[in-house]
Amino acid sequence: MRIRFAALPFALLLSPVFVSAILGQTAPKASSPATRTPDGKPDFSGLWRVARAAPSARQVSVFQGGTAPPRPTRIQLARQLPLTAKGKELVERYTAGDGEFGGETGAPGDPRYHSIPCGPVSPGSLTGEVELVQNPKRLLMVYTGGETKWIRQVWIGRQHPKDLTDYEPVWMGHSVGRWEGNTLVVDTVAIKTSPGEMIDTATAAPQGPKFHLIERLSLAADGRLHIDKTFEDPDMYTHPWTKSAILAKQTNWDEIAEDWEIQDQHTVCEDAKYPSANDPYFR
């Protein structure tokens, strides 16, 4: 018994609670280092979604019964872009049929609904949900938002073909990556384009055959993924312009719904057109 009671005060002296009480403060938690790949680079692997404000901080538009002013129309946003004469011409054509909701819905003449081919969207316009799979040689980008899935391959440490005239453009382009410290710089060229193709439907930003996309991926201290995109196209813009996004990593896979699996009917491409509730050709 004497040995047991004698050991008790000594054990208390060694306990973190006792030490914290003596110091008058709680022992700080050790910060966990950022996840890295075997070659020591930041690991972007995981499912990412655009980080959104807390529900209490979100403003509800007047179009949704709230009091916040309506968001700017596509044509208002496009006027802020460094458009060439050709770029302005295309923006005016793209937005000619926008409805009263400024692009949230479109009038029957909206080119988005019945003049764009059924190929994938531009890699510059891919946002939202994306799953990244990374190894030292390749970053696989799987965009899973909606009912369609787009896949991009970024070859790390490689170069573009020396003569792009011999390289047939593809929908997602030819992407290579290089590291600048802890930032992965992705360079994409040879992107297949078609009449009506847009870099960003929210601003009706046009895309031409000379479109060049540069993306910078980095992890912030809070664990969020920052993607800064630079758009270059001498036919459409007088100088490059940028757009940024912040994505949060998703960890609860039990709550991640797979839209494609639960749909009864899938969108069908007919005669180079996608059906739409606002498209008179599919009523």
3-state SS of the chain? CHHHHHHHHHHHHHCHHHHHHHHCCCCCCCCCCCCECCCCCECCCEEEEECCCCHHHCCCEHHHCCCECCCCCHHHHHCCCCECHHHHHHHHHHHCCECCCCCCCECCCCHHHHCCCCCCCCHHHCCCCEEEEEECCEEEEEECCCCCCEEEEEEECCCCCCCHHHCCCECCCEEEEEEECCEEEEEEECECCCCCCEEECCCCEECCCCCEEEEEEEECCCCCEEEEEEEECCCCECCCEEEEEEEEEECCHHHCCCHHHHCCCCCCCECCECCCCCCHHHC
Share of the chain above pLDDT 90, in %: 32
- Residue 187: which of 196, 202, 173, 175 has the closest Cα? 175
Residue 172 reports pLDDT greater than 60 = yes
pLDDT digits (tens, 9 = 90+) for 105-126: 444 444 444 444 444 566 766 7
Q: What is the pLDDT of residue 200?
A: 73
The model's pTM: 0.71
Q: What is the pLDDT of residue 61?
A: 58
CA angle, residues 155, 157, 160, in degrees to nearest 5: 65
- The model's confidence at residue 195, banded by pLDDT at 50, 70 and 90, is low
CA angle, residues 175, 181, 183, in degrees to nearest 5: 45
Report the relative pairing of strands 174-180 and 150-156 from DSSP bridges: parallel
In whole angstroms, what is the distance from residue 111 CA to residue 225 CA?
33
User: With the CA atoms of 278, 280, 282 and 283 taken in that order, what torsion angle do they form, in degrees rounded to the nearest 10?
Assistant: 90
- Residue 249: which of 76, 10, 44 has the closest Cα? 44
Tokens 């709550």 label which residue? 255
Q: What average pLDDT does range 56-70 have in this prediction?
A: 61
Structure tokens belonging to residue 91? 């923006």
In whole angstroms, what is the distance from residue 184 CA to residue 177 CA?
6
Q: What is the pLDDT of the chain when averaged over all its residues?
A: 72
pLDDT digits (tens, 9 = 90+) for 201-219: 777 888 888 999 999 999 9
**How long a stretch of residues is the chain?**
283
In whole angstroms, what is the distance from residue 267 CA to residue 282 CA?
12
Report the relative pairing of strands 205-206 and 150-156 from DSSP bridges: unpaired
Domains, the chain, ranges and CATH?
46-53+69-249 (2.40.128.20)
In whole angstroms, what is the distance from residue 7 CA to residue 192 CA?
76
pLDDT digits (tens, 9 = 90+) for 207-254: 888 999 999 999 999 999 999 999 999 999 999 999 999 999 988 776
In whole angstroms, what is the distance from residue 70 CA to residue 63 CA?
7
Q: What is the pLDDT of residue 150?
A: 80
